[in-house]
Amino acid sequence: MEKDAKIYVAGHRGLVGSAIVRKLRAEGYTNLLLRTRAELDLTRQMEVEAFFAAERPAYVFLAAAKVGGILANDTYGGDFIRDNLLIQTHIIEAARRTNVQKLLFLGSSCIYPKFAPQPMPEDCLLTGILEPTNEPYAVAKIAGLTMVKAYRKQYGFNGISLMPTNLYGPGDNFDLTSSHVLAALLRKFHEAKLTNAPTVTVWGTGKPRREFLHVDDLADAALFLMQHYEDDKPINVGVGEDISIGELAMLIRDIVGYAGDIVYDTAKPDGTPRKLLDVSRLHALGWRAQIHLREGIAATYTWYCAHHGR
């Protein structure tokens, strides 16, 4: 990408979008198109079409999405499938109509089958049932990457799809009703430390295993793949290692400095037993994650204390 090319980062205030903006600016890209939801409602087709017609970006990072943890997904499935279908459909179609040079679509590792082989290769997509608690979100994301692939075939549209693993980092959502597990645990342990609470409750058994990628690593991978990846097949982006929720809870407890006990609420759902991505294709291209989990969580906790901590 040319350093002065118009680059639209959809969702620039979110966890992923803000990291992509930081990365682009650090690399010297100077012509970024950024709009808040108040300025541009991506669920409104006419607004999206008018924006693309007026600005005509050369490149698009489609990081805008309605996202959340297991509780939010399970409770507001209708919102998740509606908003994500609208956002991605409007942007991809407007990008095609205005001859965007290249678009990067961000999927999610939750689109893989609930009982997918581990680690999960890209070709296991649509080979089994989805995790019921996030099925609406997963179906929307599957539709998005299928749309990108179909547009490549029919229109010659230059779009690529990334499937990142679980993300965390500065700018994460720490709302306990809608956050993902790492951010939720970080907040829980922090508040328990402040109040000297004797225990912290963790949902489920603690046995499910998850892979966690720092969002700055994802942003680095996104820029790398925008520059070097041209396949119509989605590509996994992760670290290639996972950790149990119980181990994660103990790691966060240690980083936060909480001295109490961990209690598991086994009446709450575990979700998918394991989600580890096969990142062999990404490694073969020459990209690997650089931020280790303990280092990344410690930095995220420092950010949380500066922005949300009491």
User: Does the annotation flag 84 for ligand binding?
Assistant: no
User: Does the annotation flag 66 for ligand binding?
Assistant: no
User: Does the annotation flag 286 for ligand binding?
Assistant: no
User: Does the annotation flag 188 for ligand binding?
Assistant: yes
Query: Catalytic residue among 112, 137, 151, 229, which?
Result: 137
Q: How much of the chain is helix, strand and coil, in % rounded to 5?
A: 45, 15, 40
What angle, rounded to 10 degrees, do the helices at 181-195 and 245-256 form? 40
User: Does the annotation flag 103 for ligand binding?
Assistant: no
User: Does the annotation flag 308 for ligand binding?
Assistant: no
DSSP 8-state assignment for residue 264 = E
Whether 137 sits among the annotated catalytic residues: the reply is yes
Neighbours of 12 (CB within 10 A): 22
Residue 186: closest CA among 200, 199, 197, 198: 200
Tokens of 155: 């229109």
User: Does the annotation flag 166 for ligand binding?
Assistant: yes
User: Does the annotation flag 203 for ligand binding?
Assistant: yes
User: Does the annotation flag 15 for ligand binding?
Assistant: yes
User: Does the annotation flag 276 for ligand binding?
Assistant: no
Report the C-alpha gap between 280 and 295 in whole angstroms: 24
Strands of the chain, DSSP E: 7-10, 32-33, 59-62, 102-106, 159-164, 166-168, 199-203, 209-210, 212-214, 235-237, 243-244, 261-265, 274-275
Could you list the residues known to form a binding site for substrate, using ranges. Answer: 188, 203, 210, 270
Please give the positions annotated as active site: 137
Q: Which residues are annotated as a binding site for NADP(+)?
A: 11-17, 106-109, 141, 164-167, 180
